[in-house]
Copies of this chain bind each other. A is one copy, B any other.
Amino acid sequence: MGVVVSLEDRKSGSASLKPLLTLVAGDMERVNRTILSRAGSDVAMIPEIANHLIDSGGKRLRPMLTLASAGMFGFEGEHHVTLAAAVEFMHTATLLHDDVVDESDLRRGKPAARLIWGNQASVLVGDFLLGQAFRMMVDVGSLDCLQVLSDAAAVIAEGEVMQLAAAKNTATTEDEYLAVIKAKTAALFAAACEVGAIVADQDGSVRAALRSFGTNLGLAFQLVDDVLDYGGSAKDLGKEIGDDFREGKITLPIVLAYRRGTGESRAFFDRTLMQGEIRDGDLDTALAHLHGTEALADTVQRARHYGAVARDALAPLPDSAEKRALLEAVDFCIERVT
């Protein structure tokens, strides 16, 4: 019954997610129970699909952020658990809809829900989970939390549409790409942190600090994900790579490689990503361009920048085990790649 939190194995760095996991372990058990009970429905397809995703071994980073943000101020009770579960439901709903939009076949190494149950069910179960998330927020009864999370829901969807509109445009600027991931990834990280501060009854400056921490951690996290999809900055082989390339996704490594590239490399990215005409060996060519322009290494540098901003956002807050664990989580997120 327990939902396993799968930790990626430690790589070269020294930072670990373990302190965070240990601190929130008890509350995460409660979050997992809440998730399982709130994903229930007499309509059998709903728990089937929800559990397929929920059991699939995501890191559950977002709910952990809510728990740690509340725990930092000694909050005890139920509300942070309910909100953490609501945040995870919002994330799960987004994943279900994303897979439909991206026509993805795999999610966390398992067949995407849409392949098993169809696009239709994925859209509708996503809607159900979003509705349940709002119900859970209403149970908590904090209008401030509702505002933060409903803002996030609208902004996330806006970011997804922005990305769709910009899709396959190799001329995307770094700023444009940042605006997309700020909306589609960082907004939920920010909200997850901020609602932790809200339930713990913290004032506006603390809320702002945690919000800023979440935003910048989210940006760093997404940029590192972008690099990992190309095998990491150091040609870290042995995991499946190139999904973004095959789906024609414009991520920061591509943005940088394209802007820094030659006429020849631009023609290559236009053909493969804009026209979607991918031939054997093209992924290797793409990797050569990405490494040749230092695009992957510099995307990691950008991630380090946002990680540093995240750390400074927390600086004014009093020392606590949770604060130290969150700071280490920033490093962990970045060191995944190095």
Q: Which residues of A contact B (CB under 8 A)?
A: 41, 43-46, 97, 100-101, 119-121, 123-125, 127-128, 130-132, 134-135, 137-138, 141, 143, 146-147, 150-151, 153-158, 160-162, 164-165
The chain B residue with its CB closest to the CB of A125 is B161
Say whether, besides A121-B164, A165-B44, A156 and B141 are in contact (CB < 8 Å). Answer: no
A-B contact pairs, 23 of them (CB 8 A): A41-B158, A43-B161, A43-B162, A43-B165, A45-B164, A45-B165, A101-B119, A121-B161, A123-B123, A124-B164, A125-B157, A125-B161, A127-B156, A127-B157, A127-B160, A128-B157, A131-B150, A131-B154, A131-B158, A135-B154, A137-B150, A138-B146, A143-B143
Expressed in whole angstroms, the Cα–Cα distance for A89 and B13 within the complex equals 48
When the two chains form the complex, which single residue of B119, B124, B143, B154 contacts A160, counting CB atoms closer than 8 Å? B124
Pairwise interchain contact A128-B143, C-beta atoms closer than 8 A: no
14 additional contacts (CB under 8 A) given A131-B150, A131-B157, A134-B150: A100-B120, A101-B119, A101-B120, A121-B161, A125-B161, A127-B153, A128-B158, A128-B161, A131-B153, A134-B146, A138-B143, A138-B146, A141-B143, A146-B146
Q: Is the CB of A150 within 8 A of B138?
A: yes
Q: How far is the CB of A219 from chain B (nearest CB, A)?
A: 19
Cβ contacts under 8 Å, A164 to chain B: 45, 120-121, 124
User: In the bound complex, do residue B101 and residue A128 qualify as a contact, i.e. CB atoms below 8 Å apart?
Assistant: no
Contacts of A46 in B (CB 8 A): 158, 161
Query: For residue A155, which residue of chain B has the nearest CB?
Result: B131
Docked Cα-Cα span, A119 to B125, in Å, equals: 16
List of 7 A-B pairs having minimum Cβ-Cβ separation, nearest first: A131-B154, A131-B153, A128-B157, A127-B157, A134-B150, A101-B120, A124-B160
